[in-house]
Amino acid sequence: MPTTIRWHGHACFEIVSSKGVVIVVDPHDGRGLGLNPPRVAADIVLISHEHFDHNAFAVVAKPGANVLSMKTGEVSLGDVRIIGVETFHDKDRGKKRGRNIVYKIIVDDLNIVHLGDLGHVPDANTAATLKPIDILMIPVGGVFTIDASEAWKTIEVLDPAVVIPMHYWLQGIELPLKPVDEFLRMAPSTWSKTYLESNTLIIDKSSLKPKTIYVFKYV
């Protein structure tokens, strides 16, 4: 059964299971970034770290929603399995920007990994914990996270089937991020690029196209 993935700009993704369970990762409030606030009502909210552009759970959470902030370890919520893995927001083991939790979300037989504001290339132990990965949501805008070059090194380490770039400069964003173009220019020839005409992708295990980059349109 297909899963719906919707991008609300920056690092905020909405994942809707085939049974209608709504998961939102790293919600922003819109205003603080220069974007529109995400319009979604979430059953589950995951927060990778407590920075303003990733932790606006009150904007998206339904009454009674499960809100997991910087949660490591494994938890099952209905048919959704979530694994939180500690990483860092910088290359100095968190001394500059703190901890960052990478979430692996297993839903509808898809292994979806959201890297949050990852600031370094993951080590072998982290990679082993996160694999296998069907869909990888990866920051590429640099400055506060890994940059385009480090993103490709991370992809090499994690070996996902599909990549969705995030956390890059968009029209209106007031942070000094790089646009997605540099990341796309650096893509190896073995990877194909699909430019979506909307902010929504409907996908299931059988429709995964290995070594595909999906570039969402921000609307």
The answer on pLDDT for 51 being more than 80 is no
CA distance 21 to 45: 11
| pLDDT value of position 210 | 96
| pLDDT value of position 60 | 87
The answer on pLDDT for 144 being more than 90 is no
pTM: 0.94
Determine the 3-state secondary structure of 57 from DSSP. Answer: helix
% pLDDT > 70, the chain: 93
| pLDDT value of position 102 | 97
Residue 90: phi and psi, rounded to 5, are: -150, -175
| pLDDT value of position 76 | 96
67 with 48: CB under 8 angstroms? no
C-beta neighbour count of 26 within 10 angstroms: 28
82 with 101: CB under 8 angstroms? no
The answer on pLDDT for 95 being more than 80 is no
User: Domain spanning 3-215 has what CATH number?
Assistant: 3.60.15.10
> What residues contact residue 2 under an 8 Å CB cut-off, 6+ apart?
18, 108, 202, 203, 204, 207
Q: What is the mean pLDDT of residues 92-115?
A: 87
Confidence of residue 107 (pLDDT cuts 50, 70, 90): very high
Q: For 144, which DSSP code?
A: S
> What residues contact residue 117 under an 8 Å CB cut-off, 6+ apart?
11, 48, 49, 51, 54, 89, 97, 100, 139, 144, 145, 167
User: Among 76-85, 91-100, 148-157, where is mean pLDDT lowest?
Assistant: 91-100
State which H helix or E strand residue 100 sits in: strand 99-107
The answer on pLDDT for 118 being more than 90 is yes
| pLDDT value of position 143 | 84
